[in-house]
Amino acid sequence: MQKGAKAAVISAVAVAMIAGGGYGAYALFGSDGKASAAPKQRTVVAEPPSPELAAAGEKEFLDAWAKGDLDAASKATDDPATALAALTAFRDKVKPSALTLTPGTAATPAAFASATAGPSGAPSAKPSGSPSPGASASAAPSAAPTPAGQVLLNFKSKVEFAGTTNVWQYTGYAGLVKMSDGKAAVHWAPTVIHPHLGPGETITVQPVFNPPTKVTDRKGQSLANLHSLDQIVKVFQTGSSAGDPADAGSGVVITSDSGKGKPEPLFTVVDPKPGKPFKLTIDAGLQAAAEKAVNDGNAKANKGAGLVAIEPSTGNILAIAGAPLGGYNIALLGATAPGSTMKVITATGLLEAGLDTTSTMPCPETITTGQTYKNDFKGDHLDNTFMQDFTVSCNTAFIKQGLTSLPSGQLAKVAQEVYGIGTPWKIAPGISTVDGTVPGPGQSKDETAGEFMGQGKVLMNPLAMASVAATVESGQFKQPILVEGQQQVPAARQLAPDVLSKLRAMMHSVVTDPNGTATPVMGGISGTQFGGKTGTAETTPNAPTNSWFTGYRDNLAVCAEVLQGGFGADTAAPAVAEVLKVGNAG
Burial (Cβ within 10 Å: 0-12, 13-18, ≥19) of residue 130: buried
Q: For residue 470, give the H/E element and its range.
A: helix 462-474
pLDDT at site 128: 37
Which residue ranges of the chain lie beneath pLDDT 50? 1-33, 35, 120-145
Q: What is the pLDDT of residue 7?
A: 36
**Which pLDDT score, from 0 to 100, does residue 31 have?**
41
CB distance 218 to 149 below 8 Å: no
- Answer whether the bond into residue 480 is a cis peptide, omega within 30°: no
pLDDT at 14: 34
How far is Cα 498 from Cα 501, in angstroms, rounded to an integer? Answer: 5
Distance between CA atoms of residues 66 and 135, nearest Å: 16
The whole-angstrom separation of Cα 168 and Cα 527 is: 58
Q: Residue 158: exposed, middle, or buried by beta-carbon count in 10 A (0-12, 13-18, 19+)?
A: middle
Global pTM value: 0.70
Q: How far apart are CA 155 and CA 355, in angstroms?
A: 69
Closest CA to 188 of 81, 109, 275: 81
Q: How far is CA 91 from the centre of its chain?
A: 26
Helix (H) / strand (E) element for 60: namely helix 51-67
DSSP output for 406-449: S-TTHHHHHHHHHH-BTB----STT------B---TT--HHHHH
pLDDT at 320: 98
* Residue 192 CA, distance from chain mean position: 27
Provide the 10 A C-beta neighbour count for residue 440: 15
Collect all residues with Cβ–Cβ distance below 8 Å to 37 and sequence separation of at least 6. none
Q: Which domains are present in the chain?
A: 51-121+128-199 (3.10.450), 215-278 (no CATH), 285-582 (3.40.710.10)
Strand ranges, E, within 189-263: 201-208, 215-216, 249-256
Convert 482-510 to b/e letters by CB count within 10 Å (16 or more is b).
bbeebebeebeeebeeebbebbbebbbbb
